[in-house]
């Protein structure tokens, strides 16, 4: 299989995203870091690197940014602890690596890739994921590394909502980062990383590290990375569902991804509210789809001619790689 068409798309989470929920500097910072993530992934692809390496590089940038709920800036659980989830999948071989409930891995997606390359397991969780990462050469970091004032305030707000019996906004609760890529060899890959939702029960694992739900890649079909209420992504097996609709029903990427986000998940309600969901996906020809059913989604992509765009709401911002 070969193609001259490489492609890359990323997301930094979906949600209500009211304009007054962040300062202008924070919005600019988030868009800047989306651009840096695209630049990192595109540098790998344009240099002839693999889709797997490209999605890891893009996600690493977002894990290091305080603007997204992954790595530095990850959400806090009900005990005020960061528990991190991530996964990566190689569409060429269907090999994958995933970790969950890790507490001391600076870049969880890189540990997930190391696990995939190790080959003895697909999924490690909790302290054993931390131990594996350290043995693989990743220096552990203290919990304080992940903490930002924004996440401390979000936890306090979520606890207040719980006491008052009110519902928090999606962007107070959730957040995820992810990337999908097609390389010059025609191979697809996907990666996703998250701190989960704010005030989550200790030990809770969402869809981001679940292969087939929040992350999925299969050469010749598509690569998918999701964001939203993870429990529902698991129930609908979202990544695999999109691939299955394409492979078995003959739907195109846009039709399959839009149907899953807008109809399957869009028709699902919790406490009377539609389940917030979004994703980025790429097909075997490099076409990109980025549907979301919330008011906004941090996202970006690079066109085949190397032009890059990022967005938070409807307006696209062209960025220089």
User: Which string of DSSP letters, residue by residue, matches 1-42?
Assistant: ---S--EEEEEEEEE---GGGS-HHHHHHHHHHHHHHHHHHH
User: How many CB atoms are located within 10 Å of the residue 220 CB?
Assistant: 15
Closest CA to 17 of 145, 139, 174: 174
Q: How far apart are CA 26 and CA 22, in angstroms?
A: 6
Angle at 316 between CA 311 and CA 319, to 5 degrees: 85
Paired tokens of 296: 């906004």
CB burial string 94-123: b at 16+ within 10 A, e below: ebbbbbbbbbbbbbbbbbbbbbbeeeeebb
Which amino acids are annotated catalytic? 176
Q: What is the dihedral of CA 193, 198, 201, 205, to 10 degrees?
A: -20
Tokens for 50?
Answer: 């693999």
């Amino acid at each position: 299989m070969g193609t001259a068409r490489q492609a890359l798309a990323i997301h930094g989470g979906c949600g209500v995203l009211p304009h007054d929920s962040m300062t202008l500097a924070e919005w600019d910072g988030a868009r800047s870091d989306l651009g840096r993530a695209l630049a990192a992934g595109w540098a790998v692809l344009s240099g002839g690197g693999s889709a797997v390496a490209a999605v890891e590089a893009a996600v690493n940038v977002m894990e290091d940014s305080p603007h997204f709920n992954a790595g530095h800036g990850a959400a806090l659980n009900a005990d005020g602890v960061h528990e991190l989830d991530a996964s990566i999948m190689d569409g060429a071989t269907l090999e994958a690596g995933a970790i969950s409930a890790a507490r001391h891995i600076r870049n969880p997606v890189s540990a997930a890739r190391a696990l995939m390359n190790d080959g003895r397991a697909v999924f490690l969780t909790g302290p054993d994921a931390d131990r594996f990462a350290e043995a693989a050469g990743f220096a552990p970091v203290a919990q304080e590394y992940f903490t930002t004032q924004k996440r401390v305030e979000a936890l306090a707000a979520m606890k207040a909502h719980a006491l008052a019996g009110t519902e928090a906004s999606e962007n107070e609760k959730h957040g995820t980062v992810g990337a999908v890529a097609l390389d010059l060899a025609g191979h697809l890959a996907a990666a996703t990383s998250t701190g989960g939702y704010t005030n989550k029960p200790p030990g809770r694992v969402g869809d981001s590290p679940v292969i087939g739900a929040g992350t999925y890649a299969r050469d010749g079909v598509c690569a998918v990375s999701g964001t939203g209420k993870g429990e529902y992504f698991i129930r609908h097996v979202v990544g695999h569902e999109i691939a299955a609709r394409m492979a078995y029903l003959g739907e195109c990427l846009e039709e399959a991804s839009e149907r899953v986000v807008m109809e399957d998940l869009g028709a699902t309600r919790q406490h009377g509210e539609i389940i917030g969901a979004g994703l980025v996906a790429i097909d075997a020809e490099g076409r990109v789809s980025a549907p979301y059913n919330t008011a906004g989604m941090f996202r970006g992509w690079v066109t085949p001619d190397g032009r890059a765009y990022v967005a938070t709401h409807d307006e696209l911002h062209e960025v220089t790689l």
